[in-house]
Amino acid sequence: MALTMISNLFKKLAAITPTVIPKRLLTLNIDQAFDNKVYRLHLLEHGPPTTSELEKERGLKLFQEMDLVRRVENALAGLYREKKIRGFCHLVVGQEAVCVGVHSVMRPQDTIITSYRCHGWAVLKCMDRVGIIAELLGHRSGVARGKGGSMHIYGPQFFGGNGIVGAHVPLGVGISMKHKYTNSDAISVVLYGDGAANQGQVFESFNMAKLFKLPVLFIVENNYYGLGTASDRSSANPEYYRASSFLPGVRCSGMDILTVIETTKFGFQHILDGKGPIILEMMTYRYFGHSMSDPGTSYRDRNEISQVREKKDCLQHMKHLLMDSKLATEEEIKAIEGKNKELTTRDTEMALKGTETPVEELTADCYKFYPDKMRLPKMLTWVPHKNFGKYDSAKR
């Protein structure tokens, strides 16, 4: 009787015609979406300046960092396609202006916490690039000894790399509370995406940050898609800079690094002037899918991706800006690109020489005291166990 009922149920389900959600066609106005001359303000009388000064040395450094981040990410994409990187791998290609621009404003005492799309920040925080690549390969020479992978990378003043969508935002508020409690002038920079912007804990974080007037800078990296869902399909209010009725906000282009820098400076000064937390929304775009397992074309038009690459690519924009303003020659640009290519190739080759993290280290660094063996979830399956201690890149 029960089998007959189940059989009939499956027949009814099979007869249902599924509703196919159409692909989000090219409704994105590329020029308006990434207009670097327009700021949108919330609860503010004035915004960041619309002009910026740039010296040659700083301009070349910004370009070098953006180019290096992109080359490292593209190298990781290649390793993933070769099945040398397994599991999750979320790339920041297309969004380099945000991480490089924000990082250029930060001081040594400031802290950063972000989502799982964190490789760019790991590179910028002067971490061991070989160790970063090795971490994604699952090698014991990785910065987390191969146990953290793509989403869990940490470093000095860099609190990750966090795998749960939006869960790191309250952690960032906690870090800002530490800054205030210790009478430090440090600022906690908290980055999250449009996909996390509607998480309940984000709004709870807004409340606590404002209530205690904490030194926290909220930055929304709005790349228009949370996994495979366009922001205008998932949000009643996709203007995340005005997500709070009591926090001021600014929206700017995240594809122009100078705009990112001026907006970040504005946010920093707002906090340092004692006005409390602020939200910055930076409109950016990712060229790859949500992760490497996502082709990124089932929910958006290929023409949209190609148009952003052609018209608004942050790296090409910076290159042309430097050359058009006579701050750099084509030869200087090519020299930077060549050096970065050489470094990335060398680092990748060194990382590939590593060995996989052994099974006895699977449970290391979890507890203070350890038995000689640790039982796995499978009954009566025991593995040798050892604590390998603190990671030391010099002993790789």
pLDDT, tens digit (0-9, with 9 covering 90-100), for 276-330: 999 999 999 999 999 999 999 889 989 999 999 999 999 999 999 999 999 999 9
Average pLDDT, the chain: 90
Torsion of CA 11, 12, 17, 20, to 10 degrees: -90
Residue 7 has pLDDT above 60, yes or no: yes
Taken in order of first residue, the domains within the chain and their CATH numbers are 23-29+52-226+238-296+307-357 (3.40.50.970), 358-395 (no CATH)
pLDDT for res 249 = 99
Write out 310-346 in H/E/C secondary structure: HHHCHHHHHHHHHHHCCCCCHHHHHHHHHHHHHHHHH
Please, are residues 351 and 134 in contact by the beta-carbon 8 Å criterion?
yes
Give the pLDDT confidence of 157-208 residue by residue, as tens digits: 999 999 999 999 999 999 999 999 999 999 999 999 999 999 999 999 999 9
Over 50: is that where the pLDDT of 26 sits? no
More confident call, 13 vs 315 = 315
Mean pLDDT for the stretch of residues 131-143: 95
Instruction: Using the CB atoms, write b or e for 91-130: b if 16+ within 10 Å.
Output: bbbbbbbbbbbbbbbbeeebbbbbbbbbbbbbbbbebbbb
Tokens of 350: 């060194």
The secondary structure element, H or E, covering residue 308 is helix 302-312
Please give the share of the chain, as a percent, with pLDDT higher than 90: 77
Q: Which residue has the higher pLDDT, 37 or 71?
A: 71
pLDDT at position 23: 54
DSSP assignment of 182-225: TT----EEEEEETTTTT-HHHHHHHHHHHHTT--EEEEEEE-SE
Least confident of 2-6, 139-143, 216-220: 2-6
- pLDDT higher than threshold 80 for residue 9: no
Mean pLDDT of 372-394: 59
**pLDDT for res 142:** 94
Residue 90 confidence (pLDDT) above 60: yes
- Beta strand pairing call for 229-230 and 225-226: antiparallel
Decide if 219 contacts 202 (C-beta within 8 A).
no
Q: Residue range 131-153: average pLDDT?
A: 94
- At residue 250, φ and ψ (nearest 5 deg) are -135, 135
Q: What span, in angstroms and rounded, lies between the C-alpha atoms of 152 and 150?
A: 6
The DSSP output letter for 300 is B
pLDDT at 314: 98
**Residue 368, helix vs strand vs coil:** coil
How many alpha carbons fall within 13 Å on the CB side of residue 18? 4
298, 23 contact by CB (below 8 A):
yes
Query: How confident is the model over 242-280, as pLDDT tens digits?
Result: 999 999 999 999 999 999 999 999 999 999 999 999 999
